[in-house]
């Protein structure tokens, strides 16, 4: 099933980041997330930066 961008009607592609499916428009480069996915990405980033391995 091919998704269409709600902003510019371009073709959307789906990829995975930290276990979250992210939809991105190939034309306008807009990023679209389903409910709760932004929170999951933020939690993953905070966990990485909060861990001793993630600190620089």
Q: Domain holding 13: CATH number?
A: 3.10.20
What pLDDT shows up at residue 27? 96
37 close to 21: Cβ distance less than 8 angstroms: yes
- Per-residue pLDDT tens, the chain, 56 aa: give them: 789 999 999 999 999 887 888 999 999 999 998 899 999 988 988 888 886 654 45
Q: Which domain holds residue 11?
A: 1-56
Counted domains in the chain? 1
The tens digit of pLDDT for each residue in 35-47 reads 999 999 889 888 8
Write down the H helix ranges in the chain.
37-50
| CA angle in degrees (0–180, nearest 5) for 40-2-14 | 30
What pLDDT shows up at residue 20? 86
- How far is 27 from 50, CA to CA, in rounded Å? 35
């Amino acid at each position: 099933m091919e998704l269409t961008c709600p902003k510019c009607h371009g073709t959307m592609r789906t990829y995975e980041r930290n276990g979250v499916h992210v939809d991105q428009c190939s034309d306008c480069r807009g990023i679209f997330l389903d409910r709760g996915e932004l929170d999951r990405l933020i939690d993953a980033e905070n966990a990485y930066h909060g861990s001793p391995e993630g600190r620089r």
